[in-house]
Amino acid sequence: MRTHTRETQASMTPDRALEFLMAGNGRFTDNLRAHRDLLAQVNETRSGQFPFATILSCIDSRTSAELIFDQGLGDVFSIRIAGNVINDDILGSMEFACKVAGSKLVVVLGHSECGAIKGACDHVQLGNLSTLLNKIEPSVYFERTEVSDRTSKNGVFVQRVAEIQVRRSVEAIVERSVVLREMIERGQVGLIGAMYDVGSGDVTFFRDTWMCGDIKHFYLDVWNRSGAAK
């Protein structure tokens, strides 16, 4: 598969970038990864990079965005932090990726069995980790369907909190970044939340979080062709 160039990045649209990631995850789960000469891509990207998407995911060792979406060197910006939380440094990285480097899509990718989410559910306190988990605590609070076992031992509860955390991070991006919000409103960049299943390798995109151009407008053809959205 060819390395992205300035020309291919410039011709990319947000919905097309989403299709690329959906197709890549399909290859990953089918164990049909695209053939790439990674050493050649090292040479092709040494003088510049033109990633078409930016993915915020957890530090979990099972959630490498390049592997999950079957992408090569120079294809995506990968931002990783436990619990896929949002802070000013991450927003600045996203702004660089989109406004300066030309990325056309931002994905907030949570995952099942997330240790950070479990830690927040159990209200763990441990040095600097406490500061990070405090950013996830509101997602624990907003999960109101479970009234008895609200701990990490309840897998359904943990999954619901993880999905809420993804949605809250998506909302935080448009609330706290004027740069990204304006690009999204102009249709220059798309934004979406998704969940990765560590048991199957599948990524489920949350259709109701998709933002691009008119905030209420969905690219229905993307969803209809892929069948991968929730």
Among 40-49, 84-93, 105-114, the minimum mean pLDDT is found in 40-49
Read off the pLDDT of residues 102-161 as tens digits, 9 standing for 90 and up: 999 999 999 999 999 999 999 999 999 999 999 999 999 999 998 899 999 999 999 999
More confident residue, 37 or 192: 192
Kindly report the pTM of this predicted structure. 0.89
Between CA 179 and CA 202, with CA 45 as vertex, the angle to 5 degrees is 70
Half-sphere exposure for 124 (CA within 13 Å, toward CB): 16
Structural domains in the chain, sorted by start: 6-112+170-226 (3.40.1050.10)
For residue 214 the two structure tokens come to 């008119």
For residue 196 the two structure tokens come to 């990765």
pLDDT beyond 50 at 22: yes
Summary mean pLDDT of the chain: 90
Among the residues of the chain, which ranges form H helices?
A: 6-11, 14-29, 38-45, 65-68, 88-95, 115-121, 127-134, 137-142, 155-176, 178-185, 220-226
For residue 160 the two structure tokens come to 């619901």
pLDDT beyond 90 at 74: no
pLDDT beyond 70 at 217: no
